Structure 1
Amino acid sequence: MNTVRKISPLSSVSDIVNNDYRTAAVFRKYGIEYCCAGKFPLQMVCESKDLDFTAIINELEQSIHPISIPNNLPFEKWDIDFLIDYIVNIHHAYLKQVLPDTKDQLEKFAEGHYKNYPELTELVLVFKSLTLEMLPHLQHEEDIIFPYIKQIAHAYDNKEAYAGLLVRTLRKPVENVMNHEHESINKVLARMRKLTNSYTWPEQSCTNHRVTFLKLLEIDSDLVQHMHLENTILFPRAIEMEKKLLYL
């Protein structure tokens, strides 16, 4: 059974973040330094800033609460509507929150480290391009692509008379997303991995360096799973339904 890991009030802020990078977001929220100047015990820092120590401890412990999704979930057997809702509420919601925050975090980190790590200049630009591309892409899926797929799935399941006309009028957007937009996102991820040596931070790097790279790795992993669900399960099912509906 998963349990919340307890955080000692005597642990230094930097040690807490080094033990789990996800706690950094809580410290940023309260303006608590966790990198080079984060050597003081958490309780002392909270008292010096007149912060609610108990509330912060609770937030920190919740931020590292283990949440796991089984690898053997039968995604391919899920109802189309349920699969789409899962993608929107899990993957889209995550990206809408994390991409802008991480872009800001990366830019601030890079400002003080360009001289030692010149590759950060391009990394910032690449991640910014990912953010600018992904957010409209997510909205386009939610506003156009997913409602269309739900509509043709309903028409297919109920053998609606209008189904063939619907496909003839609106077909191609699914294939365009799968073949072009996702290909572009994969190229951006490949470049990020190249620039970060697969998110491996240099020896003697600061805590913020490790936190930033681990957050980029987290986003990369989510996008890989997200696009897998769409490219290998959702979109092929939609395209197959389109083909069959044309002959109804």
Structure 2
Amino acid sequence: MSQITLDLNVSEIVTMLPQSADLFRNLRIDYCCGGKISLKEAAEQRGLDPHNVLTDVHEIEKKKELHQQMEPSDFGDKTLVTYIQEKYHAGLREELPLLAPYVTKVARVHGDTQPHLLRIQEIFKLLRAELIDHTDDEDQNVFPLILEFLENPTAELKEQLEPHVTELENEHDSAGRLLHELREITNNFTPPKEACGTYRLVYARLEEFEKDTFTHVHLENNVLFERVQKAM
């Protein structure tokens, strides 16, 4: 049973479920400076049905829980590739544009006094560009070749595939280094005590982004690419 109820403050809900911030933003419910009121009160102030808003929040929560329950390392080759594409590739394309305005806002408002926030913005921009290009290449070129090779591991396909896998692993290493720097300069994604709601939201979602990216890379490097290596 969900712990998220109409009596919880909006700010508490965003802390528990960072993705709910996008819903509140679209509904123009303040989860930052005015987030210390219950979801019921916040919805009513906007002329919304509180139960409908709560249902939307629970749908976001269920979607997150469903993905967490799966054991993708046991999937067949095609199912694993589809899972990576639908959860992580599509997830990146959805989350990164949504998170970008928050990162920009925090850097703009607080960057003068906290310059590490400007570096966070730089790292985020680098990761966004690199990971979108990276996943596009996988979807359009490398994954189809991997599936073809795993079904029919010929010497010709092996020769075509090897440099692609090496390049992808190098790109994973590059993303990993940026994520490690991000964790270091955010003090393990711990916001200052005086941080506003948007500041806290950025740290929470960056931490979740880090977690998802490392799981994503693990599935590719240690599961999918390992299957390719064993077939070579």
Which amino acid letter does the alignment assign opposite residue 203 of structure 1?
A: K
The aligned counterpart of 1:126 is 123
For 1:168, give the aligned amino acid: E
After superposition, give the CA deviation of every residue in 1:173-231 in whole Å (9 maximum; x if it has no partner): 112211x2111111111111122111111223222222211100111001111111111
Query: Are the aligned partners of 1:5 and 1:61 in contact in 2 as well (CA < 8 Å)?
Result: no
Task: Trace 1:210-221 onto structure 2 (pairs within 5 A).
Answer: 210-221=200-211
Distance 1:207 1:176, change over 3 A: same
* Unmatched segments (≥5 aa) in structure 1: 157-162, 244-248
Residue 67 of structure 1: aligned partner: 65
Tell me, yes or no, if the aligned pair for 1:174 and 1:239 is still in contact at 8 Å. Answer: no
- Residue aligned with 2:29, SS: coil
Partner Cα separation in structure 1 for residue 45 and residue 88 of structure 2? 38
- For residues 64-108 of structure 1, the C-alpha deviation after alignment (integer angstroms, 9 at most, x for no partner) is 34616358x471x54222221121122112111111111222112
How is 1:213-232 mapped onto 2 (pairs within 5 angstroms)? 213-232=203-222
Quote how far apart the aligned CAs of 1:165 are. Answer: 2.7
**2:142·2:161 contact (CA, 8 Å) conserved in 1?**
no
Alpha carbons of 1:90 and 1:169: their partners in 2 closer, same or farther (altered >3 Å)?
closer
Number of the residue aligned with 2:90 = 93
Deviation at residue 233 of structure 1 after TM alignment: 1.8
Structure 1 residues 171 and 5 mapped into 2: Cα distance closer, same or farther (>3 Å)? same
**C-alpha separation in 2, matches of 1:58 and 1:144:** 39
Q: Is the 2:8–2:39 contact (alpha carbons within 8 Å) kept by the matching residues of 1?
A: yes
Measured in 2, the distance between the counterparts of 1:54 and 1:106 equals 31
* Compared CA separation, residues 135 and 19, structure 1 to 2 (3 A): closer
8 Å CA contact 2:10, 2:38 repeated in 1: yes
Query: Greater CA radius of gyration, 1 or 2?
Result: 1
Cα distance in 2 between the residues matched to 1:131 and 1:219: 11
Q: Which runs of 5+ in 2 are unaligned?
A: none
Query: What's the C-alpha RMSD, in Å, of the aligned pairs?
Result: 2.3
Map of 1:164 onto structure 2:
155
What TM-score do the two structures reach when normalised by structure 1? 0.83
- The 5 Å alignment of 1:163-182 reads 163-178=154-169, 180-182=170-172
Separation in structure 2 between the aligned mates of residue 4 and residue 84 of structure 1, nearest angstrom: 31
Contact 2:103–2:121, Cα closer than 8 Å, also in 1: yes
Alpha-carbon distance between aligned partners in 2 of 1:169 and 1:216, rounded to the nearest angstrom: 36
The change in CA–CA distance for 1:12 and 1:240 in structure 2 (over 3 A counts) is: closer
Given the two structures, how large is their TM-score scaled by the length of structure 2? 0.88
Partners of 2:76 and 2:42 lie apart in 1 by 50
Query: In 2 relative to 1, CA 176–46 (structure 1 residues): closer, same or farther, beyond 3 Å?
Result: same
From the two aligned structures, give the one with the greater helix fraction.
2
Cα distance 1:176–1:37, how it changes in 2: closer, same or farther (>3 A)? same
Task: Give the drift of 1:13.
Answer: 2.7
- 1:144-188 deviation digits (Å, cap 9, x = unpaired): 1100000011113xxxxxx2233334541112211x211111111
- Cα distance 1:126–1:169, how it changes in 2: closer, same or farther (>3 A)? closer
Q: Which residues of 2 match residues 47-86 of structure 1 at below 5 A?
A: 47-65=44-62, 67=65, 69=68, 73=71, 75=73, 77-86=74-83
5 Å-filtered alignment, 1:136-155, equals 136-155=133-152
Give me the whole-angstrom Cα distance separating, in 2, the residues matched to 1:208 and 1:74.
33
Q: Deviations over 1:15-46 (max 9, x none)?
A: 43345433322211212211112334433433
